[in-house]
Amino acid sequence: MMNQRQIEKDWNHLIKSEEKFLNRNLHIKSTGWQEKIDHLIPKKLNQTMNIAFFKAFGLIFEKGTGLIEKTYNREKREQNYKINEFAAEIKNSRKAMKEFGKQAKISKNTNLMISIFEGVGMGAFGMGLPDIPLFLAVLLKSIYEIALTYGFSYDSKEEQIFILKIIETALLHEDELLDGNVLLNNWIKEQVAFDITRIEQTRKTSNQLAKELLYLKFVQGIPVIGIVGGISDMVYQKKIADYALMKYKRRFLERKR
């Protein structure tokens, strides 16, 4: 049996991390440069991006997960989780418990580096919209690896809805962020099926991504200058991955409490 005192310490640390994330992202931060280029953005760009994200999600969930898994060894990661869990049970120490988070952070940071090269590379050639499938592939790769590190799969539609909700919620603000965070935490605790289909949640998540990345993807579509927009890929990848790590750690600790 894992050390319950240590699990509670990790739980309390997680709660503080979540509170910091919520406080940091609660309010929308206005940027002057967005207002200056607002008149340049095509009226249909938001809708176009929305559709692009929606189609990319569908393609990856239906046919692309196998390709993403070729970039890492899923079986080895599942074995590593079992080894780490066994070690945590036997050693009953903080060091053994920290191994889960350590491996999750390594995966997250590795994928952030991939995101930088991918985003900057596409931005240098002025490729904003074509970057969307690659952006999502790297993002989902990061979340998949975090999930496996904490002993969770991502194959079922219910798990995919959970992933989509993580992405959407990480980009929300104000009461929507608070409400979305509570909804995810309740699902983690109660494990009651979501009252939304994967297609419906895909639309919501795609809409939020399009809304949040509108200005940056527009800038990324301008050759050379688009490098700035490409760097933003890493910023959003980190934000979502940080939130995903907290939610999977919460699921892991909830299961052990």
Mean pLDDT across the chain: 81
Q: What is the DSSP annotation of 137-165?
A: HHHHHHHHHHHHHTT----SHHHHHHHHH
With CA atoms as reference, report the closest residue to 141 among 206, 64, 81, 200: 64
Query: How far is 58 from 49, CA to CA, in rounded Å?
Result: 14
pLDDT digits (tens, 9 = 90+) for 134-166: 889 889 999 999 999 999 999 999 999 999 999
Query: How far is 137 from 84, CA to CA, in rounded Å?
Result: 27
Residues 6+ apart with CB under 8 A from 102: none
On whether the CB atoms of residues 219 and 235 are closer than 8 A, the answer is: no
Give residue 21's pLDDT band: very low, low, confident or very high (50, 70, 90).
very high
For residue 128, what is the DSSP state? S
pLDDT at 243 over 80: yes
pLDDT at 110 over 80: no
pLDDT at 152: 95
CA atoms within 13 A of residue 37's CA, in its CB half-sphere: 12
For residue 38, what is the DSSP state? G
pLDDT > 90 fraction of the chain, expressed in percent and rounded: 46
48-57, 149-158, 193-202, 227-236: segment of lowest average pLDDT: 227-236
CA angle 18, 21, 26 (to 5 degrees): 120
pLDDT at 250: 96
